[in-house]
Amino acid sequence: MDAGLAAVFAAAVAALGGIIIAIMQMRNLTEENRTDHAMVQKRLDTVIDMVGKTSAKLTSHLDWHIKEPSKDQKVKQVATRKKK
């Protein structure tokens, strides 16, 4: 076998090996990507639930302020009235 043919053969083996390794890594990356996305989705669901609960509490609290004005609010209303 001469040197030129050996170089071509070595390049072909290296290229084939590189393609096989790339395919193997892509499979691992795809699985890892799915796992990461599942983890992120779970955390986002938790955050969405927390925001929903906080929103409900805030709405309830604001409704309470509208229905039941406290002494502080009455004082504030009197203090902010325009003087004639």
| Tens of each residue's pLDDT in the chain, 84 residues | 688 899 999 999 999 999 999 988 888 888 888 999 999 999 999 999 998 888 888 888 888 777 776 666 665 565 566 655
Question: What whole-number distance in Å separates Cα of residue 21 and Cα of residue 30?
Answer: 14
What domain range is 45 assigned to? 3-79
84 within domain boundaries = no
The two structure tokens encoding residue 50: 């927390």
**pTM for the full model?**
0.44
Q: 3-state class of 35 per DSSP?
A: helix
The two structure tokens encoding residue 74: 């009455």
43 within domain boundaries = yes
Q: 3-state class of 56 per DSSP?
A: helix
Number of domains in the chain: 1
Q: What is the pLDDT of residue 41?
A: 95
The two structure tokens encoding residue 73: 């609010």
